Structure 1
Amino acid sequence: MAWNWEQPNWPDFVYESKVLEPLEQQFLLQSGEFIGACKHIGPDDQQTLKIELISDEAVKTSEIEGEILNRDSVQSSLRHQLGLGAERPGVSPAERGISEMMVDLYRHFATPLTDATLFAWHRMLLSGDRTVNVIGGYRKHADAMQVVSGPDYKRTVHFEAPPSSRMGGEMKRFNAWFNDTAPNGKKPLPALTRAGIAHLYFVCIHPFEDGNGRIGRAIAEKSLAQNLSQPSLIALAYTIERKRKDYYAALERNNKELEITAWLTTFAGTILEAQRNTIKRVDFYVAKAKFYEKFRGQFNERQDKVIARMFREGIEGFKGGLSADNYLSISQTSRATATRDLQDLVEKGALTRTGELRHTRYFLNRSAV
């Protein structure tokens, strides 16, 4: 079967807009909910929250591609990019590059999409890579650009992109489409519809030797931000990473035809879930701020260290809860002292306790605030 870009009507995607209308309405409703939740956070805390959300997205969009980054290093680089302090030593080119791209996306979401923008993002992402021939430009190699899996003797080709000789023309047309469908463009499209088409359209062209997935997700977020007139800050990569197989399967199901209603509903559902995840994270951050306000000055140094570590685990927390052994490992204290510390935290209402003996587990008591 031919790929979608081999169809005579490429890239004129078709879809049932009526199917997407309730999803578009839900997106706008949840966008308002996110804005409302952020109003409960002071300016300084908003800056911290912004860095946390952007860093989580930067780490997850890289993790989808099999690149594991240090979250603290990414946050340090983000703060530096935003003019909030010096970058800590030891930040890798990959960590600095994804940070630079995310900050550029955040700051310049409203600008038109151009080759220059995409080339700059590509240079940021791959500045330390020595395996890619063309960095900061579209691919030029004559070999077919394929997405494959399996061993060499039994490879499965999931997709083959247009030849490199077509990249200049394909991307000129893509950029024009993206800018024309913006809210102030010639042919504006609703938020989810535009972001979904943009992502699929871009990854089907696959214009770079490497980095297409990360840049494709950045384009989707740029699209959403333009429709909202502000950075979306949604946990898109975080949500995709949790259902990575489903995400790639959906892309594969929709790379052979130009009728993409199924893709758009799947991607819209992913964005809506990403919004809900972000709202939960904002609520978590608000609860964290209130927690520290309530218990300010009540913890010793060991307890402070453990509580901070528990909050760093995020919404999901320690898998199965914090154990006494976890406390020992984090605080580097004796078992007797750990027992007293934990009992004190429970009595103060900072932690809740479940189970008995070696099955005892502790959880942050966010309901206390």
Structure 2
Amino acid sequence: MPWNWKQDGWPHFTYDAAALEVLERRFLVSSGEMIGAVRHVGAGDRELLRIELITDEAVKTSEIEGEMLDRLSVQSSLRRQLGLDAEARAVRPQERGIAEMMIDVYESWNAPLDHDTFFRWHRMLMAGNTHIGTVGAYRTHDDAMQIVSGRHDRLVVHFEAPPSRDVPGQMDAFIAWFGRSAPDGTASLPALTRAGIGHLYFESIHPFEDGNGRIGRALVEKSLAQNLERPSLLALAYTIERNRKAYYEYLERNQRTLDITGWLVYFAETLIEAQRTTLARVSFFIEKARFYDCFRSQFNERQEKAVARMFRAGPEGFKGGLSAENYIAITRTSRATATRDLQDLTAKGAFLRTGERRHTRYTLNLTPFQNEGNGSA
């Protein structure tokens, strides 16, 4: 079967809209729940929540491509971009670049999509990059743009994109489609359908030498934000990264056909899962704020450091629970002091204890702060 862009009818995809109706409705209902949850975050904390969510997505979207970034450096760069106080720490060009791109996506969601948008994102994303020849413009090399795996002498070609000479015309058509499919366009599409088609369509053109995956996921955020009339801040990269194999398998399978119902159902379900993950992170942020309000000034410096480290682990928690050895490593204290500190945290109700002796583990006790009233922002 030839690649999708070589088939008659490209780029007119076909799909069963009825297969997506329930998913589209579920997404809109969950979007309402998200808006309601954010309203429970105090006005002063909303910027902090936004930074937390954008940081998570920036780090994960890079991790999918095999690039490991320092989370605190990305967060520091985001704070600077937003004009907030940031600690003085070294920030590598790629960390600054992904932060700039994520903020640009967030703040310009309602602006029309054009070539300059893509070029701007690419320049930001490729900051400090020296291994590609063209930055801030579409690829121009004569070599085939292929997605491959395996040893150099036994390569498996998963996809081959249109030749570079065709990219400007392909991107003209893509940008025109994106405008037509917008909520105020002449052929508007529901949120999940538009985001799913847009992502597959863009990745099939693969217009840049590098960065196509990260830009393609940024494009999903822009698409959803336009349909929802506000940034979605979905944990898409986090959700994809947890099952990267399925993501690439669906992409590869659907880059050989123009009937993409299977892809759209998969991607819609992925977006809904990302929505649930984001909602859980918003709830965790609220619980964290309530936790600190409850225990304000009750911890010593060592305990503060350990608690902060556990919160950085996110909703999934500190892997395996916190042990006395973990506490000693984090706080650089003695075993006797660690024992007293942990007993104190448990007695105060900040930690929950499970197990005995060397199997003793501690977790944050967030139960009292879950669904605690409705509050108002």
Q: CA deviation at 1:90?
A: 1.4
Tell me the residue number matched to 1:251: 251
Q: Is the 8 A contact 1:79 1:87 kept in 2?
A: no
1:276 aligns with 2:298: no
> Matched residue of 1:309: which SS?
helix
Measured in 1, the distance between the counterparts of 2:125 and 2:301 equals 39
Q: Is the 8 A contact 1:81 1:103 kept in 2?
A: yes
> Matched residue of 1:8: which SS?
coil
Q: CA deviation at 1:87?
A: 6.7
1:294 aligns with 2:294: yes
Q: CA deviation at 1:323?
A: 0.2
Measured in 2, the distance between the counterparts of 1:206 and 1:253 equals 16
Tell me the residue number matched to 1:54: 54
Label 1:87 to 1:13 Cα distance change in 2 as closer, same or farther (>3 A).
farther
> Matched residue of 1:109: which SS?
coil
> Matched residue of 1:258: which SS?
coil
1:225 aligns with 2:225: yes
Measured in 2, the distance between the counterparts of 1:60 and 1:44 equals 26
Measured in 2, the distance between the counterparts of 1:87 and 1:344 equals 31
Q: CA deviation at 1:44?
A: 1.5
Tell me the residue number matched to 2:184: 184
Label 1:60 to 1:337 Cα distance change in 2 as closer, same or farther (>3 A).
same
Q: Is the 8 A contact 1:181 1:189 kept in 2?
A: yes
Tell me the residue number matched to 1:338: 338
Label 1:338 to 1:42 Cα distance change in 2 as closer, same or farther (>3 A).
same
Q: How many residues get paired?
A: 369
Tell me the residue number matched to 1:262: 262
Q: CA deviation at 1:88?
A: 3.0
The percent identity for this pair of structures is: 63
Q: CA deviation at 1:153?
A: 1.4
Q: CA deviation at 1:318?
A: 1.2
The letter of the residue matching 1:332 is R
Label 1:213 to 1:204 Cα distance change in 2 as closer, same or farther (>3 A).
same
Tell me the residue number matched to 2:94: 94
The letter of the residue matching 1:220 is V
> Matched residue of 1:41: which SS?
coil
Q: Is the 8 A contact 1:199 1:216 kept in 2?
A: yes
1:154 aligns with 2:154: yes
Moved over 4 A (4+): none
Q: CA deviation at 1:368?
A: 2.8
The letter of the residue matching 1:160 is E
Tell me the residue number matched to 1:328: 328
Measured in 1, the distance between the counterparts of 2:368 and 2:336 equals 26
> Matched residue of 2:147: which SS?
strand
Measured in 1, the distance between the counterparts of 2:333 and 2:33 equals 43
The letter of the residue matching 1:209 is E
Q: CA deviation at 1:344?
A: 0.7
Deviation readout 1:283-302 (Å, 9 max, x if unpaired): 00100011111111111111
Q: Is the 8 A contact 1:349 1:368 kept in 2?
A: no
The letter of the residue matching 1:318 is F
Measured in 1, the distance between the counterparts of 2:21 and 2:325 equals 51
Q: Is the 8 A contact 1:73 1:88 kept in 2?
A: no
Measured in 2, the distance between the counterparts of 1:13 and 1:306 equals 52
Deviation readout 1:122-171 (Å, 9 max, x if unpaired): 00000211111110100001110000000011110000000001011000
Tell me the residue number matched to 1:80: 80
> Matched residue of 1:153: which SS?
coil
Tell me the residue number matched to 1:23: 23
Measured in 2, the distance between the counterparts of 1:130 and 1:304 equals 41
Tell me the residue number matched to 2:38: 38
Label 1:89 to 1:355 Cα distance change in 2 as closer, same or farther (>3 A).
closer
Measured in 1, the distance between the counterparts of 2:319 and 2:86 equals 34
Tell me the residue number matched to 2:174: 174
The letter of the residue matching 2:164 is S
> Matched residue of 2:326: which SS?
helix
Q: CA deviation at 1:102?
A: 0.4
Structure 2: unaligned runs, 5 residues or longer: 370-377
Tell me the residue number matched to 1:11: 11
Where do residues 203-242 of structure 1 align in structure 2 (5 Å cutoff)? 203-242=203-242
Question: Which stretch shifts more, 216-225 or 82-91?
Answer: 82-91
Q: Is the 8 A contact 1:77 1:88 kept in 2?
A: no
What TM-score results when the alignment is normalised by the length of structure 1? 0.99
Tell me the residue number matched to 1:165: 165
Measured in 1, the distance between the counterparts of 2:138 and 2:82 equals 29
